[in-house]
Structure 1
Amino acid sequence: MSLKYLNEMTCSIGVSDMDAAIDWFTRVLGFELLYKQDDIAWAEMSTGLSAVNLGLGQVEQVPQGGGATPVWGVEDIAASRAHLEQHGVRLDGDIQHIPGLVKLLTFYDPDGNAMMLFEHDRS
């Protein structure tokens, strides 16, 4: 027997302040709150990608330096970088360019969760 996957995914990350995280992901990345369940310290946000959501779980201490890194595809990584900079988002260096393949930019949410943006390199 093999697993039968649904055509949907929720990527979960830990946050230290649920309301602040919801505000940040809404303002900075343009995600939309689907629901917030205070009794279990959980919220889920629509990412704008079909069937891909971001789950936020409030925890006492957000672990740093490990775990999964969500990687979001964008049309224009330079414009996206400028947008993140306008919001004071901490970036991990410059855009990495792998010619003929991809451009990458690592950034961090307010709790230090690493995320990346990618743009396909069509050159």
Structure 2
Amino acid sequence: MELAKKSYDGALTCALSVKDLNKAIDWYNKVLGFETLYVINDQGWAELSTSVNKVNIGLSVKDKITVGGGAILTWGVLDIESFYQHLQEHHVKFDGEVITIPEMVKILTFYDLDGNALMVAQDLTN
């Protein structure tokens, strides 16, 4: 319980894989009423706001999308390096190291006991 009180910032981004970023943005905006927050074309990424406070949808371009899944829950954290260390102490499996997109975000992908991919992200825009 102590970690949760100190680490999480209350934000949640649900990342979904898409083949065509522009078509996906258009669909989510028109069909679900989401609003585009930003698009990073060279990263193949867009983030859209939902009607749920601090819950966003992230769209990530992938060449091949696995049917029946692909959503990765991403929690916003205040200090990703501390969180990474905490996960290492619990022998969590990672998909690489912390990735930094300067002046935007730091991200880290890891897996639960059943192999479900999860992410944490630290906002660097402030």
TM category, shorter:
0.5 to 0.7
Q: Structure 2 matches for 1:82-97, cutoff 5 A?
A: none
Deviation of the 1:61 alpha carbon? 1.1
Structure 1: distance between partners of 2:11 and 2:64: 28
Matched, 1:2 2:3: yes
Matched, 1:25 2:20: no
- Structure 2 length normalisation: TM-score? 0.51
Structure 2 runs not aligned, ≥5 long: 74-126
Structure 1: distance between partners of 2:61 and 2:72: 18
Structure 1: distance between partners of 2:30 and 2:16: 18
Letter in 2 for 1:21: A
Aligned-residue sequence identity (percent) comes to 43
Structure 1: distance between partners of 2:50 and 2:44: 19
Higher helix share: 2
Q: Deviations over 1:48-102 (max 9, x none)?
A: 21100000001101111134499xxxxxxxxxxxxxxxxxxxxxxxxxxxxxxxx
Structure 1: distance between partners of 2:24 and 2:10: 26
Q: Which residue of 1 aligns with 2:66?
A: 63
Q: Pick closer, same or farther for the CA change 1:38–1:67 going to 2, 3 Å.
A: closer
Deviation of the 1:34 alpha carbon? 0.2
CA contact (8 A) 2:15 2:59 kept: yes
Letter in 1 for 2:15: S
Matched, 1:51 2:38: no
CA contact (8 A) 2:47 2:56 kept: yes
Q: Deviations over 1:19-70 (max 9, x none)?
A: 0000000110000000000010000000121100000001101111134499
Q: Pick closer, same or farther for the CA change 1:42–1:68 going to 2, 3 Å.
A: closer
Deviation of the 1:2 alpha carbon? 2.0
Structure 2: distance between partners of 1:52 and 1:59: 22
Q: Which residue of 2 aligns with 1:35?
A: 38
CA contact (8 A) 2:49 2:55 kept: yes
